[in-house]
């Protein structure tokens, strides 16, 4: 949720953010008007309540006819106070709903525009020339079928389209990759977490997902619970309504979970193989830190994602996502996209987002400021997230490391996690 005080002090900054996102600028003025109405109705209610309290004291001292007259006035005043309170509550709710409908304020300098308007920050690694090697690469599903690693047919039989089985070396490959990512997270001070995959509506909404209109989310109507598309949701809710102690530095969690997405808006796109599926596993980094440290932590998250990509020996690029392609909560997002040989393009493997104080305001997560060595007021913390490994990585590993005979070389850093296996055949 955006900072209402900051918005009233600098509304043009928020209008510019909305323009860069391609979002509705008029929401800013609507919120400013709603905030004025909220403050006016609260002032009216408090004035009438003070008058009511003063009358109550008079009634206590009065006698006879005077008391009867005052009681009649108090009754009328009580009705006015009740109406004023209802108006104040309604104005506050209107203000809150508008505040919740406005996406996070973007960080200065990110590209404006939509999905195709990203900026490429760097490209790393060498793309293999399969033609020079004398063979044409095959896609990950063809490789997965030959290696006995992926079974889409039986996945569809059991659960429907876009479900699959990872079996044999496919299952081992994912577990090895996730364990390698977990070890990397541990090296950098993350606490490992196995997180719930079902969450309450307030947790989902608090993280920034629109439960009423997001077609990507699975809902269990009978239980009023939602299946998460990332452990970010559970980890964001972990410290809801708490005051954190960040005096020793950021709190870093690495959440390992299954994730679920309807992919409702992606009909006909990437339906072959395991690029875009309804269920997958993921190791997600999540950080609580101070506002001042948020951008530095964001760079660290990106660095750890790149370290993992380097260990997998994958060519990739880093993009600065355009404002219109950011989610509700992100103020800035970097994607790492690996090269997929059979598609002749880069595809996202990881993303990392700086959500500044947006999620923390919705979930009421604060820290206590220290002023001159003494505890001061509380303020919202900053939250960040980033992917360290997920099922989709198998696509890039199989395709980039394949051989002419259909075998696949195992990246050196991953070999110890597969019992020293060097080639999958």
pLDDT tens digits along 213-232:
778 899 999 999 999 999 99
Asked, for residue 204, whether it belongs to a domain, the answer is yes
In this prediction, residue 192 carries a pLDDT of 98
135 and 96, same domain (yes or no) = no
45 shares its domain with 127 = no
CA atoms within 13 A on the CB side of 351: 16
Domain end position, chosen among 46, 68, 101: 101
Transcribe 277-329 into DSSP letters. Answer: -SEEEEEEEEEEE-TTTHHHHHHHHHHHHHHHHHHTT--EEEEE--GGGS-SS
**pLDDT value for 79:** 83
- Whether 263 shows a pLDDT value over 90: the answer reads no
pTM of the model: 0.92
Q: Are residues 12 and 81 in the same domain?
A: yes
112 assigned to some structural domain: no
* Nearest C-alpha neighbor of 279 from the set 264, 265, 263, 259: 259
Q: Which residues pair with 199 in a beta bridge?
A: 226
Residues known to be catalytic:
261, 276, 348, 351, 392
Q: Are residues 175 and 92 in the same domain?
A: no
pLDDT band for position 324 (cuts 50, 70, 90): very high
- Characterize 197-227 residue by residue with b for buried, 16 or more Cβ atoms within 10 angstroms of its Cβ, and e for exposed: bebeeebbbbbbbeeeebeebbeeeeeebbb
**CATH no. for residue 382?**
3.30.930.10
User: What's 20's domain CATH number?
Assistant: 1.10.287.40
* Antiparallel, parallel or unpaired: β 225-227 and 218-220: antiparallel
Q: Is the pLDDT of residue 266 over 60?
A: no
Spatial separation of the C-alpha atoms in residues 317 and 5, rounded to whole Å = 38
Of 380 and 264, the structure prediction assigns the larger pLDDT to: 380
Flag the least confident range among 74-78, 183-187, 264-268, 377-381.
264-268
- Residue 271, pLDDT score: 77
Q: Which domain holds residue 262?
A: 119-424
Does residue 6 surpass a pLDDT of 80?
A: yes
> Per residue in 13-70, pLDDT tens?
999 999 999 999 999 999 999 999 999 999 998 888 887 777 666 655 656 566 666 6
140 and 77 in a common domain: no
Average pLDDT of the residues in 131-138: 96
Please tell me whether residues 161 and 209 are part of one structural domain. Answer: yes
381 pLDDT above the threshold of 70: yes
Domain membership of residue 264 (yes or no) is: yes
- Residue 210, in any domain of the structure: yes
Start-to-end CA span in the chain (Å): 51
d(CA 247, CA 252): 14
At residue 185 the predicted structure's pLDDT band, cuts being 50, 70 and 90, is: very high
423 strand-pairing partners = 409
Average pLDDT on 141-151 reads 97
Element (H, E) at 140: helix 140-146
Q: Is residue 110 part of a domain?
A: no
Closest CA to 178 of 285, 279, 271: 285
Residues 214 and 322 in one domain: yes
Is residue 301 within 8 Å of residue 287, measured between CB atoms? yes
The answer to whether residue 113 is domain-embedded is no
Q: What is the pLDDT of residue 60?
A: 59
- pLDDT, averaged across the chain: 93
When pLDDT is averaged across residues 157-172 and rounded to a whole number, the result is 97
Quick one: pLDDT at residue 54? 75
Handedness of CA 52, 55, 60, 63 (dihedral sign): negative
In a domain, 109, yes or no: no
* pLDDT in the model for residue 179: 98
* 141 in the same domain as 80: no
140-156 average pLDDT score: 97
CA 319, CA 136: separation in Å to the nearest integer? 28
Q: Do 141 and 287 reside in the same domain of the chain?
A: yes
Q: Are 68 and 123 in a shared domain?
A: no
How many structural domains compose the chain? 2
For the stretch 288-316, pLDDT in tens is: 999 999 999 999 999 999 999 999 999 99
Residue 249: which region, alpha, beta or left (left: phi > 0; alpha: psi -120 to 50)? left
pLDDT for position 71 = 60
Domain boundary among 101, 136, 162: 101
In the chain, % helix, strand, coil (3-state, to 5) comes to: 45, 25, 35
- Of the three residues 73, 101, 129, the one that is the final residue of a domain is 101
**Is residue 237 domain-shared with residue 311, that is, in the same domain?**
yes
**pLDDT score for 61:** 61
Residue 114 is assigned to a structural domain of this protein: no
C-alpha 297/C-alpha 253 separation (Å) is 13
Identify whether residues 85 and 59 lie together within a single domain: yes
């Amino acid at each position: 949720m955006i900072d209402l005080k900051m918005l009233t002090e600098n509304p043009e900054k928020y209008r510019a953010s909305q323009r860069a996102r391609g979002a509705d600028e008029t929401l800013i003025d609507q919120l400013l008007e709603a905030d004025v109405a909220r403050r006016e109705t609260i002032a009216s209610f408090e004035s009438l309540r003070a008058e009511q309290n003063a009358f109550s004291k008079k009634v206590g001292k009065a006698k006879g006819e005077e008391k009867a007259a005052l009681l009649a006035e108090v009754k009328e005043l009580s009705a006015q106070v009740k109406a004023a309170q209802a108006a104040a509550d309604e104005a506050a709710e209107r203000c809150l709903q508008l505040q919740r409908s406005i996406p996070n304020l973007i960080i200065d300098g990110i590209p404006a525009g939509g999905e195709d308007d990203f900026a490429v920050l760097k490209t790393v690694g060498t793309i293999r020339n399969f033609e020079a090697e004398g063979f044409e690469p095959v896609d990950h599903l063809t490789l997965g079928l030959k290696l006995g690693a992926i079974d889409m047919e039986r996945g569809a039989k059991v659960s429907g389209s876009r479900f699959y089985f990872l079996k044999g070396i496919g299952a081992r490959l994912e577990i090895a990759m996730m364990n390698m990512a977990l070890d990397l997270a541990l090296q950098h001070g993350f606490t490992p977490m196995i997180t719930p995959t079902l969450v309450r509506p307030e947790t989902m909404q608090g993280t920034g997902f629109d439960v009423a209109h997001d077609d990507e989310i699975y809902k269990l109507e009978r239980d009023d619970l939602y299946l998460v598309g990332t452990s970010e949701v559970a980890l964001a809710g972990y410290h809801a309504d708490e005051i954190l102690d960040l005096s020793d530095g950021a709190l870093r969690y690495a959440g390992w979970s299954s994730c679920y997405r309807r992919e409702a808006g992606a009909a006909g796109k990437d339906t072959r193989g395991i690029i875009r599926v309804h269920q997958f596993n993921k190791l997600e980094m999540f950080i609580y830190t101070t506002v001042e440290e948020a951008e530095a932590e964001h760079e660290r998250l990106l660095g750890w994602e790149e370290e993992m990509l380097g260990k997998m020996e994958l060519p990739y690029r880093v993009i600065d996502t355009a404002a219109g392609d950011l989610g509700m909560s992100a103020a800035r997002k970097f994607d790492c996209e690996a090269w997929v040989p059979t598609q002749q393009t880069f595809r996202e493997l990881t993303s990392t987002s700086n959500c500044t104080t947006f999620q923390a305001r919705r979930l009421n997560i604060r820290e206590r400021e220290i002023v001159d060595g003494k505890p001061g007021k509380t303020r919202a913390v900053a939250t960040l997230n980033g992917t360290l490994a997920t099922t989709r990585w198998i696509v890039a590993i199989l395709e980039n490391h394949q051989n002419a005979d259909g075998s696949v070389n195992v990246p050196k850093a991953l070999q110890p996690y597969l019992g020293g296996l060097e080639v999958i055949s």
